[in-house]
Structures are given as structure tokens and as C-alpha cells.
Amino acid sequence: MSSSAHHVAYFPLEDLPTAEVDRLEEVYAGLAGAVRDLVDVTLSTAATEELLEEARAAVDSVTAALRVRQSEGPLGVRHNGHGRTWSWGNAVIGPRNATAPPLEVVGPDEDGRVTAEVVLGPAHQDEPGVLHPGAAVKLLDHLMGVTAADRRRLTMTGTLRIAHHRPTPLGPVSLAGWISGEEGSKVFVHAELSAADGVTVEADGVFVIPRWARD
Amino acid sequence: MSSSAHHVAYFPLEDLPTAEVDRLEEVYAGLAGAVRDLVDVTLSTAATEELLEEARAAVDSVTAALRVRQSEGPLGVRHNGHGRTWSWGNAVIGPRNATAPPLEVVGPDEDGRVTAEVVLGPAHQDEPGVLHPGAAVKLLDHLMGVTAADRRRLTMTGTLRIAHHRPTPLGPVSLAGWISGEEGSKVFVHAELSAADGVTVEADGVFVIPRWARD
């Protein structure tokens, strides 16, 4: 199901002023950002085994402290009734999800283009220095869902066709997607992932507006 | 590029006894496992902001300690000349990569089936309780690459066609892939991702044996 479903399907209201949502997001994103750095150094460290074991114990104690109080159920997507929405846990865009880059999806702009710029590090590696092709598709899938939803409807991912032209080097990449056509309840989306030297992955998707969401 | 390229393309030798590789893997996987737990609790914790800030500071100090000595370059895929290979950093299968489930890919078995069983938690969420569709494709892409390589050749992902039948609930999922045909330098792979109640995502891929790798 496309992440675009977020914007309509499951959308609880939380009565928080926008400024407070922004402040809380900064707190959670700060912790998740620190965890992202830890994920990266866990891949690159050449520390002694003694230090590795100490680090593991320290991480376990932080985890234990944070576990004492946990919120029930998934984070989902929330809104505050004043136009502020947040999807903190999402595997692609969630600022609170240390496995998410996180992707900041922008648009659609006046030309209908939805874009994102992100720097992908070693956590997204396949071969040395190369972005995992599945990781590329994961980001494209999400951006295409947002593109299909077009800020105004629920769509579900139907089929995707992915063409890997060549390996994508780790580092800065950009994504762009746009609606290439519509036909009844179907929305056709084209998207590309590009490295510094051009497009490396292209995707065409068919998204469907479910019957129950058409009115 | 398919992760299967690992098995041939970039494959440095490290002169380590297999038992030592296993032991080191346990050390690194232990730390990465602890970081995975921290990633999850970062999503679910309802700790006070004071505790969140303390946790962030503690994580930062662990990261700083591990950064003092870092290995150069990517982890890649290594082998020890005694049949033991390891791909510790990989975004899908790397035990040292806290963003990887990690997926343990098994096979191909005597019927040519490549399979994997994994429990996917909140770090892989899209909608509440639902696996991110892109995360599903990321895992399928990897398993299909291993399937196409068939333990004996380099293949690169050409095109993938993904059909999302319905949302996949978070929790235990299983993946299976097999070669559905071969034609010259092309290898056709079919794969499925299933939840407890059946197949939720199907994928068909065309993998290519690059000219320079055909002999």
C-alpha cells in the first residue's frame, strides 16, 4: 500500500499547537539523528573488542532506560487540525526512525513535480560504495506514492516497473516524480533517481484509488 | 546493481581462520543488534524529554568513542579462502548494519528455491502496523539477486516488475524466489513475499550477466 494512503486513510487528530509539534519533532529527531550516527559508526569502527563490548553495554543501558515508558501502538500519521501533519515513524520519511534517511519529500510544485534530495551513507550500501538497488526502489516507491496522492486523495500502489540503468554511488542523490497519466481510478506515475552524473534508476508505477475512497 | 554482484565482482581475501571470522561476526553483530533495539525503542519510547536528552548525550558519547579508530573504505564482501564469505555492512543482509533486518537468505535448495524468513518490526513501518511497500521491495530485490546469481555467476538487476496485492502486516514474513527462465545472458526470476495469510507482494525480475563476466 502506498505511503500516500497515510494522508487520508489513518489520520488521528492530536490536539497540539503547531509550535509544540515542531518542538517535539526536534527532540525526537535529535535522538534519532544520534542513533543514525551510531548506526554508521557501527559499520566503520575499528575499535578494540573491549571497546566494542563496552559500547554494546552502554547502548543496552540507554535502550533499557527508554523502554521504561513506551507509547501504545504504532506512530502512524497524525495531524493537529491546524494543517500540521507528522509521520515520525515512517521507514522512509520518519525523522524519528533511524533507519530512514529520512527522505524529505517536496511538492508537488506548480509543474506537478515531487522531488527529494538526500545523502545516502554506508547504511544503504550494497557493494562497496554502491547504493543497494533495493534501497533505491524503497525511496522511489515512497516518493511515487506521494506523487500519486497529489495532496488530495488516497492511492494504493498497484504495480511498479523498475529499470536499473547502472549502479548508484553512495552520496548525494536526487529523486523526482510526476503523474504521467490518469485513467478512471488509475494514476500513472513516473519517477527517477539520479546521482551526480545522471539518472541511474527509473520507475513507472500504476497507483489505484480504492473504490471505497473514490467519493 | 544486484547484490549478487558481490559474489564475484568485489571480493577481497582476508587471511582469517573461519572460526575467527565467526567470532568477530558475533562481536559486531552483537553491537549492531543492540543498536537495532535502540532504533526500535527510539520509535516507541514515551520517556520524559529530560530522559530523551540524556539518552541522546549517552548515544553521542558511544558514537564518539567508536569513531576514534575507523577502518578505511567500505566493508564490501570478503572471503577467507576457506569457503567462508561475509558481507557485514550490506543494507539487507549485513549483521553489522543496524538498518538491515538482517535478512538471512537460504539456498538455492535442490529445487532451486531461495528463501528467507524474517520478523519485521516498527522500523519498517509505513502505515500503522503495515510494512512499508518499498521495504518489501528492498528485501525482494536482494533475494532475487541471490537467486539469479545461483551461487555461480555475476548478475546485475535489469528490470523488476512488482505487484502489490495488498498491505503486508508487520511481523513475520517469508520470501521465496526461483529462476523462472534463462535466455542467453538474461536470467528471469520470480519472487514472492508472504505474510501469515498468504502472498502480499509478487516480483518478476530480469537479471543480466554482463558481457565482461560471461566467460
pLDDT in the model for residue A12: 73
pLDDT in the model for residue B113: 97
- The chain B residue lying nearest A143, using CA atoms, is B134
**A139 touches B: beta carbon within 8 Å:** yes
- In contact, B76 and A128? CB cutoff 8 Å: yes
Asked if pLDDT for residue A5 goes beyond 50, the answer is no
pLDDT band at B6 (very low <50, low <70, confident <90, very high): very low
Residues of chain B contacting residue A121, judged by C-beta atoms under 8 Å apart:
none
- What number is the average pLDDT over the span B143-154? 93
Q: What digits encode the pLDDT tens for the residues B105-137?
A: 999 999 999 999 999 999 999 888 899 999 999
- In contact, A37 and B64? CB cutoff 8 Å: no
Separation of alpha carbons A54 and B66, rounded Å = 10
Q: List the single residue in B28, B30, B38 with the smallest CB-CB distance to A62.
A: B38
Residues of chain B contacting residue A27, judged by C-beta atoms under 8 Å apart:
49, 52-53
Q: List the single residue in B75, B123, B129 with the smallest CB-CB distance to A43.
A: B75
Q: List the single residue in A35, A91, A125 with the smallest CB-CB distance to B126.
A: A91
pLDDT band at A140 (very low <50, low <70, confident <90, very high): very high
For chain B, strand residue ranges (E) read 78-79, 85-86, 114-120, 156-164, 171-183, 186-195, 198-208
Q: 3-state DSSP call for residue A198? A: strand
Residue contact B126–A53, C-beta within 8 A: no
Residue type, B73: G
A1 versus A51: the higher-pLDDT residue is A51
- In contact, A160 and B140? CB cutoff 8 Å: no
Query: Mean pLDDT for chain B?
Result: 90
Separation of alpha carbons A196 and B205, rounded Å = 27
Note the pTM of the prediction, 2 decimals: 0.90
pLDDT in the model for residue A6: 38
Residue contact A46–B28, C-beta within 8 A: no
The verdict on ipTM greater than 0.95 is: no
Q: Which of A31-40, B12-21, B29-38 has the lowest mean pLDDT?
A: B12-21
Asked if pLDDT for residue B9 goes beyond 70, the answer is no
pLDDT in the model for residue B5: 42
Query: Mean pLDDT for chain A?
Result: 90
- What number is the average pLDDT over the span B149-160? 90
**Cα→Cα distances B39→A53, B46, B71, B125, Å:** 18, 14, 24, 13
pLDDT in the model for residue A9: 44
Residue type, A139: L
pLDDT band at B212 (very low <50, low <70, confident <90, very high): confident
pLDDT band at A13 (very low <50, low <70, confident <90, very high): confident
**A212 touches B: beta carbon within 8 Å:** no
pLDDT band at B2 (very low <50, low <70, confident <90, very high): very low
Show the cell assigned to A141.
516507491
Distance of CA A194 to the CA centre of its chain: 17
pLDDT in the model for residue A142: 94
Q: What digits encode the pLDDT tens for the residues A150-208?
A: 988 888 889 999 999 999 999 999 999 999 999 999 999 999 999 999 999 999 999 99
Half-sphere exposure of A67 (CA within 13 A, CB side): 10
Residues of chain B contacting residue A76, judged by C-beta atoms under 8 Å apart:
127-128
Q: List the single residue in A55, A90, A135 with the smallest CB-CB distance to B66.
A: A55
**A163 touches B: beta carbon within 8 Å:** yes
Residue contact A1–B128, C-beta within 8 A: no
**A32 touches B: beta carbon within 8 Å:** yes
Residue contact B38–A71, C-beta within 8 A: no
Residue contact B49–A27, C-beta within 8 A: yes
**Cα→Cα distances A166→A101, A127, B151, Å:** 22, 13, 22
Chain B interface, best mutation among A63, A118, A208, A212, by max B CB count within 10 A: A63
pLDDT in the model for residue A73: 66
- In contact, B102 and B108? CB cutoff 8 Å: no
CATH 3.10.129.10 location in chain B: 103-213
Asked if pLDDT for residue A8 goes beyond 60, the answer is no
pLDDT in the model for residue A1: 39
Residue contact B123–A97, C-beta within 8 A: yes
Q: Which of A53-57, A64-68, A76-80, B173-177 has the lowest mean pLDDT?
A: A76-80
For chain A, strand residue ranges (E) read 78-79, 85-86, 114-120, 156-164, 171-183, 186-195, 198-208
Other beta carbons within 10 angstroms of residue B104's beta carbon come to 11
Q: What digits encode the pLDDT tens for the residues A22-32?
A: 999 999 999 99
Separation of alpha carbons A161 and B12, rounded Å = 34
Q: What digits encode the pLDDT tens for the residues A110-134?
A: 999 999 999 999 999 988 889 999 9
- The chain A residue lying nearest B49, using CA atoms, is A27
Residue contact A66–B38, C-beta within 8 A: yes
Residue contact B75–A145, C-beta within 8 A: no
What is the third-level CATH fold of A103-213?
A: Thiol Ester Dehydrase; Chain A (3.10.129)
Sign of torsion over alpha carbons B85, B91, B94, B96: positive
Q: What digits encode the pLDDT tens for the residues B35-90?
A: 999 999 999 999 999 999 999 999 999 999 999 988 876 677 788 888 788 888 99
- Could you tell me how many residues make up chain B? 215
Half-sphere exposure of A96 (CA within 13 A, CB side): 27
The closest alpha carbon to A142, from A98, A109, A103, A170, belongs to: A103
